[in-house]
Homo-oligomer: A and B are copies of this chain.
């Protein structure tokens, strides 16, 4: 049975691209592997796969009980395939914090505080001394630009910049600025998407102190057009919070170009928490989180510290 390789729920460009690339690297290393995704492509990822002329991985809804799984761009059970058993996990390549991870035996596990999983896959490709296709290099480059917001995110490292340069060469991409603009335009073109789908586009559940919290992010070059839909977004947040029995739910609207974060909160409960954790005053369901634009580096650790 081939190893199923997949990224997190509500997949983004890194999750889907890294699944495809990682499966390819494993195959070239002599293992059977097949890439998957756990949800629909978001508009940016759809653009990226069209641009790179790459085949979109199939949707995965369940695995055989003894099928091996390789996780990319995530490691927490709450963000992975529902029902996945720890003994199925044979590998993880990720750039997020480790959340309640246990494995019965040693596995191939790599995490690093870099901007993108694709940066780590490039290092793995070198170590394994296997080929990388131009199509794969283009997907990885797009994933890095997407995850680091064009190197603007505080998660960006020198390793990401160097990887992007090497991938641009391998993928024969000459105009990085044009690619970046096309990515951000696709990322921001969400006017036709209903509020509940917008909420779930980059939505992750974390367990802090044993309780589940939903942290959504929407990165855009046009925050005003998203904030104009505040009413329906808040309604979608309340519904998701009730349906998934979350202890709290937050939606950060990140302005890519100014590097700022305005976060929507549905109730006084979440408002008080943000005031306590970040000293951020909340007005009319909107908290100004300033330049905290990285969920993994600037938001999650603060929740973890205060709630665990």
Contacts and interface: CB of A to CB of B under 8 A. Distances in A.
B111 A296 contact: no
A97 B106 contact: yes
B102 A113 contact: no
Nearest to A296: B106
Copy tally for this chain in the complex stands at: 2
Nearest to A303: B104
A105 B101 contact: no
Residue among A87, A106, A107, A108 with the highest chain B CB neighbour number at 10 A = A106
A258 interface: no
Given A109-B110, A109-B112, A126-B127, A104 B304 contact: yes
A271 to B, nearest CB: 23
A103 B296 CA distance: 11
Interface in A102-137: 102-114, 123, 126-127
Contact of A111 (B97, B107, B123, B308): B107
A300 B103 CA distance: 10
Contact of A113 (B105, B296, B297, B301): B105
A113 B108 contact: yes
A191 interface: no
A305 interface: yes
Interface of A: 87, 94-114, 123, 126-127, 296-297, 300-301, 304-305, 308
8 contacts: A94-B106, A97-B107, A98-B98, A98-B102, A98-B103, A108-B111, A108-B113, A126-B127
